[in-house]
Amino acid sequence: MTAPGIRVVVADDQELVRSGFAMILDAQPDIDVAAEAGDGIEAVAAVREHRPDVLLLDIRMPRMDGIEAAGIVCAETGCRVLMLTTFDLDDYVYDALRAGASGFLLKDVRRDDLVHAVRVVAAGESLLAPSVTTRLIREFTSRPAKRGARTAVDVLTARERETLQLIARGLSNAEIAEAMVVSEHTVKTHVSNLLAKLGLRDRVQAVIAAYESGLAVPGT
């Protein structure tokens, strides 16, 4: 029996872009494009109907933009949202991640990188283009730490706080394990625990929480 593939909905108001991404993804043996959508309203409806694993979502669309659509999808379902934008200085990067997006890609992404991104996000990991990460850190630099966020991390153990700081620096589980001199399994446990305690979906939101709380500081 063939293993079930990754179900994807592609949402973009530009038909050529949308169909191009859909064709690339549908050509993969482990990916199935369940539906296409031309705006945020159609994207939300498609996710509700088809229950995909990943929603590839343009950030700027008519009727309902990607930010609002991502917030609804992430609140209602377990679907992972991978956002698309035309350029890396998009003003909505921070808001998209706060809405629950698990990844961010530029529209000029290479074919192989697009396929890889969908697989990574579907597997429960997070993915950001390097230029988008730079934009996100710049955003954090201009924002003071939030009081509520600062006290929220108090529920974490010392090791969980250390893990969160290392996540915010962009380290993988293997790199965190090496830095903390523990097993990778222990790191995975710390990550799962801190996400649960802080009510976070994934590592992207963990990075945001680390900076908002002042636990992580840009440049360190």
Per run of 10 residues, the mean pLDDT along the chain (length 220 residues) is 76 92 94 94 96 93 90 91 74 74 84 90 73 60 54 86 87 88 92 90 80 73
Place of tokens 């988008």: 132
Are the C-beta atoms of residues 82 and 185 closer than 8 Å to each other?
no
Structure confidence at residue 177 (pLDDT): 92
| Token pair in block for residue 95 | 């808001």
Residue type, 44: V
Q: Which residues contact 170 (CB under 8 A, 6 or more apart)?
A: 133
Locate all alpha helices (DSSP H) within 27-145, ordered by sequence: 40-50, 66-76, 93-98, 111-122, 130-141
Per-position b or e across 17-27, b if 16+ CB within 10 A of its CB: ebebbbebbee
Structure confidence at residue 4 (pLDDT): 65
Measured between alpha carbons, how far is 2 from 30 in angstroms, rounded to an integer?
Answer: 10
What does pTM read for this prediction?
0.70
DSSP-assigned beta bridge partners for residue 84: 58, 105
- Cα angle 8, 207, 25 (rounded to 5 degrees) comes to 15
Are the C-beta atoms of residues 202 and 164 closer than 8 Å to each other?
no
Helix axes 66-76, 40-50, angle to 10 degrees: 20
Structure confidence at residue 204 (pLDDT): 76
